[in-house]
Amino acid sequence: MISNIVFTKNRLLQLEGYLKSLYRYWPEALMQTVVVYKPELFEHEYGAVFRKFNEIKVVRERDFHSDVLNVLAKTETEYVLF
């Protein structure tokens, strides 16, 4: 099992394409995905993508450094992919 931490800011189509490819070729049961996002644009559209991939955890960025440290502190896997 690995943890996959993804960062996104105003790159909705890139995020959606990445998640589609990721889950097409990597078993969901072997990975925990956390998306840290900053919704300056496309907030409604981000919500639609997150509903499509309901197995991911979503963190709305408030303070990047603190948010990343909190995500890492909650990570229970041996390996982390960024």
- Listed by start position, the domains of the chain span 2-81
Q: How confident is the model at residue 81 (pLDDT cuts 50, 70, 90)?
A: very high
Q: Give the CB-side neighbour count of residue 20, counting CA atoms within 13 A.
A: 7
pLDDT digits (tens, 9 = 90+) for 26-54: 888 899 999 999 988 888 999 999 999 98
Mean pLDDT of the chain: 93
CA angle 59, 61, 64 (to 5 degrees): 115
Provide the pLDDT for residue 54. 87
Annotation: CATH topology of 2-81:
Rossmann fold (3.40.50)
Say if residue 22's pLDDT is above 90.
yes
